[in-house]
Amino acid sequence: MSYIRKPKFQHPDLQPNALGFTRRDYEGTLTTLCGGCGHDSISAAIIQAAADMSLEPHRVAKISGIGCSSKIPSYFLSKSHGFNSVHGRMPSVATGANLANKNLHYIGISGDGDSASIGLGQFCHIVRRRINMLYIVANNGTYGLTKGQLSATADLGSITKAGDESLYDNIDMASLAIELGASFVARSFSGDKQQLIPLIQAGLTHKGFAFIDVVSPCVTFNNTDLSAHGYKNTWENYVSLGQIDFVPMREEITTSYSAGKDKEITLHDGSVIHLHKTDANYDPSNKENAINHINTHKKNGEIATGLLYIDQSMADFHELQDTVDKSLNELNSSELCPGNEALQNINQTFK
Amino acid sequence: MPELVTTTKVNTLPKTNDFVIKFANVNGSGSASANNMFAKAIFRMGIPVSPHNIFPSNIQGLPTWYEVRVSDKNYLGRREGIDLMVAMNEQTIQSDINSVIPGGFVLYDSSKPLSEGLIREDVHYLPIPLKDICLTEFEKPSQRQLFKNIVYVGALAAFIDIDFNVLTEMVSDQFRGKEKLIAPNIHALELGYQFARENFTCPLPLTLERRDLTSDKILMDGNTAIGLGCVYGGATVASWYPLTPSTSVVDAFDKYCKRLRKDPKNGKNKFSVVQAEDELAAIGMAIGAGWNGARAFTASSGPGVSLMQEFLGLAYFSEVPVVLFDIQRVGPSTGMPTRTQQGDLLTCAYASHGDTKQILLFPSTPKECFEFAADSFDIADRLQTPVIVLSDLELGMNEQICDPLNWDDDRQYDRGKILNEQQLDEIEKYGRYQDIDGDGIPYRTYPGTHPSKGSYFTRGSSHDANAAYTEDGDIYAEIMDRISLKFKTALNYIPEPEISSLGSNTRGVIYLGTTTSAIKETLDNLQKKGISLDTMRLRGFPFHESVRDFINEHEIVYVIEQNRDAQLKSLLKIECNASEEQMFSILSYNGVLITAQQIEKEILDSLSTSNNAGEISA
């Protein structure tokens, strides 16, 4: 497939969004991943999410590490700049990029090998630093590009296609993110677009560090009946917090909601997240609750999904650093260089 | 009345403005500021001086030394042979006393008698009961400890004729805002001064005479100068991980940014300093920021530079500007973290796996640290590749006399080839790695520039001229060749070597960085023996054609460097086709600055063993 050029044909019925762009304007190059790979569904969800919320494609920067997951940024938003960096080090590159220009949207795409093993340290620290970005882990419990070794997110007892059993407990990226101070944490499944798309939209809109752990089966190496990250297990043990809708700031709210069962969260720009039929006792602003919820389902062999945690009061990195409103990469020499007179005064202090 | 242990039977030749005083202290005893005050007082008397810290990797308790060379002739390298030792550390006192030259002096705390084994017949002792004086004069335990250092500085003022007013002015300067501390400090100075005057013949035959040789100079360390250079060069992002001896680079940047880079309207920061979780993250952040159009740097030393290798290859191959300051220390591994070396030359020149080459700059003075730091951002932006500035602990952490820093207010930053929205509108098709100008340097765009043109995918995997992924070997080779071409163009932006040549010499010396401090003294000494040498100080890598010419024009070149494996010599052989027979290595790798005496001796030895010594031009 990688040798085929993607046709530029647009179906005449494609509806333009508020910016006049159609879905095609948010696509990337043709995928080179295996047919049926969960990662392609993530690309499709990002494309749909960005088109529906009328994101300006060129105001997005996509950054990834290394691995199958890190190829994903090629397959969406070709009008955005992308950076496929070093294995496990996407967080640092994304941090630097965000430092240079705080006025863009940042989408970081990583995998379980990339973020839970080689890059676990950088993952922890980007969460702590509260970089304003959407960080997606395409989580398949295996190393695809090197042909199917177990990863650190593979559940205890999970067995790969090659028959290797995971002897160690897994790292749960969502509860880790909550623990470390991420202000928006969700889990979803590449197979559940209804849930994933609004979560991506909400994550992109959220001011601060938004994390989505997306179970994304590897059809080639980790999709047997015995692999925890396979389609079968995920569908069977998938526990959702309920239907979710994202209403961008500029759109009128038209759907009606049933009282009592629904929750409404207004984001900083006025956009709204609607949580339908959510367990009335589930409070996504309660950290301990969220972690308990994940652990309880894990004990039952279930995967807790949905918007697990949100805190809109946290300052993001630039607020903590108190940087100027203009992005740092726009400052020119007259704004940055203190000039010779100041330097001569400094010389005097070294006399 | 203190007991004068012994009077030497060796004559002391009087010396004026030409001696070495060494302080042997215990780390964490508060000696550093007293010793700094001593050196700076000499500087303020107009006399060239060079202090060298020889300190442990430790917070408290281990031995530390401060060596001050005074030289009218501006010989500011290290010199072995101590004229006066301030022996304040019982752990090392034996070897400290042994390092004093015959006829030299030992100042020690005579509150406790000196053991007999420490008594040499050929040196003068200057016993001062520092502890007892402080015990009588000061109440607070901390002051009793700290002021011992100030008392010996006061005594030295009497011994070598430091202008006492200069010292009191310095105390007033140092404690501006903490006026309560001025009087007790001056009192401590006076106690030492009086004691020396009353008990010894002052001054000693080591005396200072006021000169006017430093009034147009400053006394600054290289790391401070780099930090300032980054402020002036327009750096906005500094990401780093603490590592001796590089830490003070970012400290200085942060300090001057807080002073000079606040938005006057709202006090917000026009900079960002991030302490990373490790050196990988530090350079990753700098590369991310550089990719997105901010001037970014990181500072580190050997162990950190080892960790940064993979990222340096990414920045080389994907052509992202970034600046790395490597303040070298003794390796390999943890090595001697608080000692100096020029040991990262090869690891930096070809940093990262695969075919790579990196731009290196070699400053040798704080002024050059400032200038090269500012220039490095222009060079990195222009060439779209990492620039590594190779300093070392000696230059980074010791104060050195140099010319004042200067900035041309008409200077504009060279941001290199960047297309803005309007320029993108004007071109038909943009390709990130197309060599439009034939100089090997492509055009880049920042994220967010244009709604439909100029976006591209940056990657460390093989790519074509339009930044698309490719596994076509021929296209890969074309990109690699184009990057080679870029490194030829680089010579237009890298500082030329500084060459001093008579044209008739058959022998020359090549050196860089802190080795420079010993060169003037070496040449003067050899000149007195009728030997003259041409010199070339390297300032950047890749090497210019003039480096090859210099080697070819001389029968023998001495390559002087501070590492075991003659890394600079290797680099010259690889890059300039220099032959082994032509190159004579002079190496120093004991962790302290190379001396003129060593260089001179090795050159003289080579001449006496050389069969054609007669050919040397006098």
Give pLDDT, residue A256.
59
Q: Which of A92, A96, A329 sits opposite B446 (nearest CB)?
A: A329
The whole-chain average pLDDT of chain A stands at: 93
Inspect the interface and report whether the beta carbons of A328 and B314 lie closer than 8 Å.
no
Contacts of B45 in chain A (CB under 8 A): none
Interface of B with A in 85-124 (CB under 8 A): none
Q: How far is B105 from chain A (nearest CA, A)?
A: 29
Alpha carbon distance B511, B509 (integer Å): 7
Q: Give pLDDT tens digits for A71-110.
A: 999 999 999 999 999 999 999 999 999 999 999 999 999 9
Alpha carbon distance A150, B230 (integer Å): 45
B320: three-class secondary structure by DSSP: coil
Q: Which of A96, A325, A335 sits opposite B285 (nearest CB)?
A: A96
Pairing type for strands A272-275 and A263-266 reads antiparallel
Amino acid at B78: R
Structural domains of chain B ordered from first start = 15-207 (3.40.920.10), 220-402 (3.40.50.970), 421-492 (no CATH), 498-615 (3.40.50.920)
**B338: Cβ contacts below 8 Å, ≥ 6 apart:** B55, B56, B57, B244, B245, B329, B393
Q: Select the residue from B224, B236, B319, B415 to test the A interface by mutation, using most A Cβ atoms within 10 A.
A: B236
In A, minimum Cα distance to B232 occurs at: A337
Task: Answer yes or no: are the C-beta atoms of A161 and A225 closer than 8 Å.
Answer: no
Inspect the interface and report whether the beta carbons of A101 and B218 lie closer than 8 Å.
no
Task: Answer yes or no: are the C-beta atoms of B417 and B380 closer than 8 Å.
Answer: no
User: How many Cα atoms are found within 13 Å in the side-chain-facing hemisphere of B51?
Assistant: 24
Interface of B with A in 459-518 (CB under 8 A): 459-461, 468-469
In B, minimum Cα distance to A105 occurs at: B448
Task: Answer yes or no: are the C-beta atoms of B592 and B578 closer than 8 Å.
Answer: no
Inspect the interface and report whether the beta carbons of A78 and B455 lie closer than 8 Å.
yes
Q: Give pLDDT tens digits for B159-218.
A: 999 999 999 999 999 898 899 999 999 999 999 999 999 999 999 999 999 999 999 999
In A, minimum Cα distance to B444 occurs at: A81
Q: How far is A60 from chain B (nearest CA, A)?
A: 7
Residue B512's beta-bridge partner residues?
B538
Interface of B with A in 302-361 (CB under 8 A): 310-311, 314
Q: With a threshold of 0.80, does the pTM exceed it?
A: yes
Give pLDDT, residue B7.
58
Inspect the interface and report whether the beta carbons of A347 and B276 lie closer than 8 Å.
no
Q: Give pLDDT tens digits for B127-138.
A: 999 999 999 999
Inspect the interface and report whether the beta carbons of B293 and A101 lie closer than 8 Å.
yes
From the candidate CATH numbers 3.40.50.620, 3.40.50.970, 3.90.25.10, 3.30.70.980, the one assigned to the domain spanning A23-330: 3.40.50.970
Give pLDDT, residue A263.
83
In B, minimum Cα distance to A77 occurs at: B455
Using CB atoms within 10 A of its CB, is residue B504 exposed (0-12), middle (13-18) or buried (19+)? exposed
Q: Which of B219, B452, B459 sits opposite A84 (nearest CB)?
A: B459
**How many beta carbons lie within 10 A of that of residue B215, not counting itself?**
10
Task: Give me the sign of the Cα torsion angle B103, B104, B107, B111.
Answer: negative
Contacts of B409 in chain A (CB under 8 A): 339-340
Three-state helix/strand/coil letters over B277-297: CCHHHHHHHHHHHHHCCCCEE
What number of residues does chain B have? Answer: 618
In B, minimum Cα distance to A67 occurs at: B461
Alpha carbon distance B318, A247 (integer Å): 39
Task: Answer yes or no: are the C-beta atoms of B397 and B53 closer than 8 Å.
Answer: yes
A185: three-class secondary structure by DSSP: strand
Q: How far is B426 from chain A (nearest CA, A)?
A: 18
Amino acid at B577: N
A109 touches chain B (CB under 8 A): no
A104 touches chain B (CB under 8 A): yes
In B, minimum Cα distance to A104 occurs at: B448
B412 touches chain A (CB under 8 A): yes
Average pLDDT per run of 10 along chain B, which is 618 residues long? Answer: 54 93 94 95 97 90 96 94 97 96 97 94 96 95 94 98 96 91 96 97 96 97 98 98 97 98 97 98 98 98 98 98 98 97 98 98 98 98 98 97 98 97 96 98 98 96 97 98 98 98 90 98 96 97 97 96 98 95 97 97 91 44
Alpha carbon distance B601, B92 (integer Å): 28
Mean pLDDT to the nearest integer, A133-149: 95
B210 touches chain A (CB under 8 A): no
Cis bond upstream, residue B203 (ω within 30): yes
- In total, the C-beta contacts within 8 angstroms joining chain A to chain B are 222
**B267: Cβ contacts below 8 Å, ≥ 6 apart:** A322
Q: What are phi and psi of B390, to 5 degrees?
A: -100, 100
In B, minimum Cα distance to A94 occurs at: B288
Distances (CA, A) of B252 to A348, B257, B497, B615: 16, 8, 28, 51
B325 membership: H or E segment, kind and range: strand B322-328
Describe chain A by its helix, strand, coil percentages, rounded to 5.
Answer: 35, 20, 45
Give pLDDT, residue A11.
77
Name the residue among B284, B230, B277 with its Cα closest to residue B255.
B230
Distances (CA, A) of A85 to A63, B317, B356: 7, 11, 17
Give pLDDT, residue A255.
58
Name the residue among A105, A17, A119, A126 with its Cα closest to residue A59.
A105
Give pLDDT, residue B614.
44
**A303: Cβ contacts below 8 Å, ≥ 6 apart:** A187, A189, A215, A234, A237, A238, A239, A297
ipTM reported for the complex, 2 dp: 0.96
Alpha helices in chain A (DSSP H): 38-52, 90-100, 112, 120-129, 173-180, 193-205, 231-236, 287-299, 317-321, 333-336, 340-348
Mean pLDDT to the nearest integer, A56-83: 96
